[in-house]
């Protein structure tokens, strides 16, 4: 080691600190150690001998700058230079906190300006094409049949790995570090990621099936603690082999150069955002330590950022827009937030109150309880109307909350919708559409009505509810559905 004895001991202590206390990943540890070795190698020439602790205390800003210039001449790019500076700062910060040495000069070293690189995901079509091709790429049941083709189990192995990258958002290293006892995969998978940080990720049925197909043909007898994904000799699969698989598939399918194993992880995050994934949830699924790392995906796709995993089971959805109007008109104005008040409704809205506020209901009996405090419409209805030639925006049909991801009309009476951090709305019934809809666009009233196979009338203009817990509601808030206890009663007009 190119350092004086006292400095060598501090390097070892620092490295142990990074492993045990900072819990850095193996790759980061290797890079940090390499960077510090290069720093001390530079000091040998720069100072005329191996550097001691006293030498480190005497270093000036120009010495650190000379080291960075030296590394640039070695061919390092800005991102590697930034990591090198981070390694050196980490070492000196450790020395300072351990009261070994204090040198403020290193903190004055400016980091290089990094290029603003965005993730390069595949399109959904490209990702699906790639996964389909992986499982059927030049395979044969027996290698003797055609030595140019791979055994079927290898193709299925590759497909299983790639499916985990895209379907679960795993890093290649995380997928290949799995052991045999992880399979058969359950509903979730426990992953140890960077810095030995643990996270739980949902497992899609496609990923579960891909692993099962691979194991069914894998010729190696794998014990619980053996690698899940192995090569021809039964050893743990190497990342390089997966990169080579991607290169072959990319060339065969004519995919762009961005089609790398890590691009599948980028695709996982980007497609979740496009489908409504919440940024915080995606941060946890990816295992990012900082939300700022995850935020780069918002520049790739500007669609709504909302929770999606259990939307497929119609247990969660999200708020597309919120609206209110203090006047008794059909159309409500979109706003950045609404406040739901327990027992009353939407603060500032014409229909807020304990007793009925809709004019037709007031005319019949003004003492009736107000079961129509909050009006919700599913954005899927707006999509359906668009296909029929109507152009309707959120709030235009009088709703306070426009949702997506929940089949509102299928909810039973008494369902509780937990919206955002605090608000809770109890579903009371269906909205009964009125002829005022035709005032918006001719034929709209008929378009929100339908008949089932038995001729029963279907009202599609949303649902009504009462506020049972106050809270603020904003666009992009998640909606959690809690069914009522006891027998489920279908919604009726209120």
Decide if 99 is catalytic.
no
Decide if 297 is catalytic.
yes
Active-site choice (288, 358, 426, 459): 288
Q: What does DSSP say about strands 188-192 and 316-324: parallel, antiparallel, or unpaired?
A: unpaired
Decide if 194 is catalytic.
yes
Instruction: Specify whether the CB–CB gap between 42 and 67 falls below 8 A.
Output: yes
Angstrom distances, CA of residue 236 to CA of 158, 221, 468: 13, 13, 55
Instruction: Specify whether the CB–CB gap between 462 and 408 falls below 8 A.
Output: yes
Cα(352)–Cα(374) distance, integer angstroms? 8
| Burial of residue 25, with CB atoms counted within 10 A of its CB: 0-12 exposed, 13-18 middle, 19 or more buried | middle
Instruction: Specify whether the CB–CB gap between 439 and 397 falls below 8 A.
Output: no
Q: What does DSSP say about strands 478-482 and 423-430: parallel, antiparallel, or unpaired?
A: unpaired
Decide if 70 is catalytic.
no
- In degrees and rounded to multiples of 5, residue 250 shows phi and psi of -60, -45
Active-site choice (262, 315, 331, 474): 262
Active-site choice (32, 94, 297, 309): 297
Report long-range pairs for 106-113 (Cβ below 8 Å, ≥24 apart): 106/59, 106/64, 108/61, 109/61, 109/64, 109/65, 109/68, 109/85, 111/82, 111/85, 112/78, 112/81, 112/82, 112/85, 113/78
Active-site choice (194, 236, 258, 361): 194
Cα(492)–Cα(429) distance, integer angstroms? 5
Residue 204 makes CB contacts below 8 A (sequence gap 6+) with: 167, 168
Active-site choice (38, 157, 199, 265): 265
Can you give 302-365 as a three-state secondary structure string? CCCCCCCHHHCCCCEEEEEEEEECCCCCCCCEEECCEEEECCCEECCCCCCCCECCCHHHHHHC
Instruction: Specify whether the CB–CB gap between 472 and 338 falls below 8 A.
Output: yes
Instruction: Specify whether the CB–CB gap between 92 and 104 falls below 8 A.
Output: no
Active-site choice (71, 171, 266, 351): 171
Cα(283)–Cα(412) distance, integer angstroms? 33
Decide if 266 is catalytic.
no
Residue 237 makes CB contacts below 8 A (sequence gap 6+) with: 157, 161, 176, 227, 229, 230, 231
Nearest to 357 by CA among 464, 469, 491, 468: 464
Decide if 17 is catalytic.
no
- Other C-beta atoms closer than 10 Å to the C-beta of 232 total 13
- Two tokens at 311? 């939307």
Cis peptide before 269 (omega within 30 of 0): no
Helix axes 124-135, 239-253, angle to 10 degrees: 110
Cα torsion through 333, 409, 484, 422, rounded to 10: -20
Active site amino acids = 171, 194, 262, 265, 288, 297
């Amino acid at each position: 080691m190119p350092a004086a004895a006292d400095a060598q001991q501090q390097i070892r202590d620092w490295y142990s600190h990074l492993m045990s206390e900072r819990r850095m990943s193996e790759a980061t540890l290797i890079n940090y150690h390499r960077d510090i070795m290069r720093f001390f190698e530079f000091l040998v020439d720069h100072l005329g001998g191996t550097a001691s602790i006293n030498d480190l205390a005497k270093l000036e800003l120009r010495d650190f700058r000379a080291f960075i210039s030296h590394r640039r001449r070695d061919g390092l790019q800005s991102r590697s230079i930034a990591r090198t500076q981070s390694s050196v700062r980490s070492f000196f910060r450790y020395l300072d906190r351990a009261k070994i040495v204090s040198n403020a000069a290193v903190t004055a070293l400016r980091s290089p300006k990094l290029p603003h690189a965005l993730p390069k995901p595949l399109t959904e079509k490209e990702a699906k094409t790639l996964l389909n091709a992986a499982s059927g790429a030049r395979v044969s049941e027996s290698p003797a049949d055609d030595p140019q083709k791979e055994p079927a189990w290898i193709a299925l192995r590759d497909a299983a790995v790639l499916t985990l990258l895209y379907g679960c958002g795993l890093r290649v290293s995380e997928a290949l570090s799995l052991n045999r006892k992880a399979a058969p995969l359950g509903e979730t998978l426990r992953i140890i990621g960077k810095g030995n940080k643990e996270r739980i990720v949902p497992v899609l049925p496609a990923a579960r099936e891909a692993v099962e197909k691979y194991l069914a043909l894998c010729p190696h007898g794998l014990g619980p603690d053996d690698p899940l994904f192995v090569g021809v000799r039964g050893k743990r699969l190497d990342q390089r082999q997966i990169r080579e698989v991607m290169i072959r598939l990319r060339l065969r399918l004519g995919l762009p150069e961005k089609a790398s194993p890590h691009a599948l992880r980028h695709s996982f995050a980007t497609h979740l955002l496009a489908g409504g994934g919440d940024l915080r949830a995606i941060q946890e699924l990816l295992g990012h330590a900082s939300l700022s790392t995850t935020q780069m995906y918002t520049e790739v796709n500007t669609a709504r950022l909302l929770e999606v995993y259990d939307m497929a089971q119609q247990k969660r959805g999200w708020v597309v827009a919120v609206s209110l109007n203090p006047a008794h008109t059909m159309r409500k104005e979109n706003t950045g937030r609404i406040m739901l008040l327990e027992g009353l409704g939407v603060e500032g809205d014409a229909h807020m109150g304990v007793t009925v506020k809709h004019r037709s209901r007031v005319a019949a009996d003004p003492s009736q309880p107000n079961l129509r405090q909050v009006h919700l419409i599913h954005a899927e209805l707006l999509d359906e109307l668009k296909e029929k030639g109507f152009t309707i925006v959120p709030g235009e049909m009088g709703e306070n909350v426009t949702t997506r991801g929940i089949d509102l009309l299928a909810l039973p009476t008494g369902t509780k919708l937990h919206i955002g951090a605090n608000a809770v709305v109890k579903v009371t019934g269906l909205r009964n559409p009125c002829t005022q809809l035709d005032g918006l666009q001719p034929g709209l009233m008929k378009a929100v009505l339908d008949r089932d196979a038995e001729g029963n009338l279907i009202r599609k203009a949303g649902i009504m509810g009462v506020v049972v817990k106050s809270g603020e509601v904003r666009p992009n808030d998640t909606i959690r559905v809690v069914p009522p206890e006891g027998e489920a009663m279908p919604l009726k007009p209120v």
